[in-house]
């Protein structure tokens, strides 16, 4: 765990399913497949690994701008941990200001 209560990607894989967690990282993938009924998916990378995000249509509409534009995100939500694969069902999202220039993600729209 790092400052501000942020849990690293590595530590998320060992935590109990259903727990409220906070994580942050660089967005490396964004997806909103037409077959996903409005759900949005993204992957964040930190220094320890990758965490997947699941965003409901309601949360996506509310926080569309940071979700599709911010290169770094802070997220809060419920952990889904199955067989050591961690995903966060996002409840809140905030862009993170990082002075690293523009970092591209692999966006599929």
How many folded domains does the chain comprise?
1
Model's pTM, two decimal places? 0.84
Q: How far is residue 33's CA from residue 86's CA, in Å, rounded to a whole number?
A: 20
In a domain, 105, yes or no: no
In a domain, 74, yes or no: yes
- Supply the DSSP symbol for 75: E
In a domain, 104, yes or no: no
Owning domain of residue 21: 3-97
Q: How far is residue 81's CA from residue 84's CA, in Å, rounded to a whole number?
A: 6
Q: Look at residue 102 in the predicted model and tell me its pLDDT.
A: 59
Q: How far is residue 85's CA from residue 62's CA, in Å, rounded to a whole number?
A: 27
Please report, for the domain that includes residue 51, its CATH number.
2.40.50.140
Taking alpha carbons only, the member of 70, 57, 65, 62 closest to residue 105 is 70
Element (H, E) at 60: helix 57-62
pLDDT digits (tens, 9 = 90+) for 15-74: 999 999 999 999 999 999 999 999 999 999 999 999 999 999 999 999 999 999 999 999
Q: Look at residue 1 in the predicted model and tell me its pLDDT.
A: 44
Q: Look at residue 49 in the predicted model and tell me its pLDDT.
A: 94
In a domain, 103, yes or no: no
């Amino acid at each position: 765990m790092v400052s501000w209560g942020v849990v690293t990607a590595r530590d998320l894989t060992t935590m109990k399913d259903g727990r409220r967690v906070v994580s942050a990282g660089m967005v490396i993938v964004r997806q909103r497949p037409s077959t996903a009924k409005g759900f949005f998916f993204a992957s964040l990378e930190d220094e320890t690994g990758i965490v997947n995000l699941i965003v409901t249509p309601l949360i996506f509409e509310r926080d569309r701008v940071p979700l599709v534009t911010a290169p770094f995100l802070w997220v809060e939500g419920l952990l889904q941990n199955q067989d050591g694969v961690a995903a966060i069902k996002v409840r809140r999202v905030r862009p993170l200001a990082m002075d690293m220039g523009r970092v591209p993600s692999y966006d599929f729209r």
